[in-house]
Structure 1
């Protein structure tokens, strides 16, 4: 899988000002409306043996770290079955800076995608999409680079504000994440994602919600609907949960 829009590749050698300017350009190029060839209802965790017709290939992306190297992995699933895994181990060029994650981790992830033989219909990233200071988080940035429908699933809220208090909500609950003065080039109150309670216990410990946002070619409501169909009783969507496990497995091999 190769980049479709190489002019948007995240270059860690850019200055901070140049990085932020590129993110504005990425956000301008992103489309936060549904633009894909599959039926969202066909995204499921059924076994491939029970599936009929062409079901979408869904990729999960995650990373682990070895000192100054990134172990980037992609796990490709059809239904509940893994059909391909790919990884790359690459050097990290810059430290983590909030809001500039794609410039630290984007290149390593691109390297892992280039090892993938099949093109996914949907990519789920462990990171933000439109819920980002410049509406260009990791899922948006790389979704635009590959021009692939993408969704960001973060464990913490980077910016914006929930419409309602998200603490201790029941499984399946969601509320809008609204743009505020921390989100640039957005009207205050614009809906940029959801807090989504994918899993919850009736007693302690309370599980915190996920923060789901569209990356590229997916709308806010559809992004959360897709994630809800992929969680399968776990907090994380199955493609990124499998990617997390594969990243740890690969890291152990290299360590």
Structure 2
């Protein structure tokens, strides 16, 4: 798969924040997608073990989630854990995995944030610029913003708001479980992102493509 390499990854945290401020202006987070036209969805995850980062991208058919392709890559973890700078920790190894894809997914689901980020450029948004494809962030824990109460039923949702701006949605994908936090990454809008995640999570809290990627990323030997 063609990757649009936008910058070098060898940056300090201060330089990384400055780059985020620059790149955020390119993010498009208001573009709807016709989900009936989607055929392939990719789940994206990274596992870090003993200083090594293991990336997995699993491409599955939509809406029945048959695995078409799994692309993996491993590399030394290049960046410290800094909240809000996850893409600089996981981006380099993800770029390697993306470059190994032979298929062309219609949309990518990331285990991480899109614009629901202090600078509106989480890993799904940042890597969306490298992919030039629609990307969606699906985070398990809240990074920024607040939301109101949600009902206990599947599909219950509440806007995620930061400084008066709606940046995502708290979404309950399974009755009685904790919500996940959905936001557009790049080239998609919030309504589409929420609808896609619900359709990709028929049984479990996490969308099936992300679950498949999590399993693949975690299967590397320690």
Unaligned residue ranges in structure 2 (runs of 5+): none
TM-score (norm 1): 0.82
Q: Deviation of residue 35 (structure 1)?
A: 5.6
Runs of 4+ in 1 over 6 A off after TM superposition: none
1:33 equivalent in structure 2: 30
State how far apart, in whole Å, the 1-side matches of 2:141 and 2:48 are.
19
State yes or no: 1:212 paired with 2:187: no
Q: Is the 8 A contact 1:127 1:152 kept in 2?
A: yes
For the aligned residue pairs, the C-alpha RMSD in angstroms reads: 1.5
Aligned residue-pair number: 220
1:112 aligns with 2:107: no
Partners of 1:232 and 1:211 in 2: CA distance: 17
Select which of 17, 23, 26 maps to 2:14: 17
1:101 corresponds to which of 67, 76, 86 = 86
Larger Rg: 1
Helix, strand or coil for the counterpart of 1:177? strand
Q: Which runs of 5+ in 1 are unaligned?
A: 43-54, 181-188, 202-206
- CA shift for structure 1 position 97: 0.4
3-state SS of 2:218 partner? helix
Residue number among 121, 134, 148 corresponding to 1:136 in the alignment: 121
Contact kept, 8 Å, 1:26 with 1:140, in 2: the verdict is no
Instruction: Give runs of aligned pairs for residues 1-255 of structure 1, distance below 5 A.
Output: 1-4=1-4, 6-7=5-6, 9=7, 11=9, 13-34=10-31, 39-42=34-37, 55-79=38-62, 80-162=65-147, 164-166=148-150, 169-180=152-163, 189-201=164-176, 207-249=177-219, 251=220, 254-255=221-222
The answer to whether the 8 A contact 1:75-1:85 is kept is: yes
Q: Distance in 2 between matches of 1:134 and 1:59?
A: 25
1:190-228, Cα deviation, whole Å (9 max, x unpaired): 211000000024xxxxx2100000000111111111101
Return the alpha-carbon distance in structure 1 between the equivalents of residues 178 and 215 of structure 2.
Answer: 21
Cα distance in 1 for residues equivalent to 2:214 and 2:179: 18
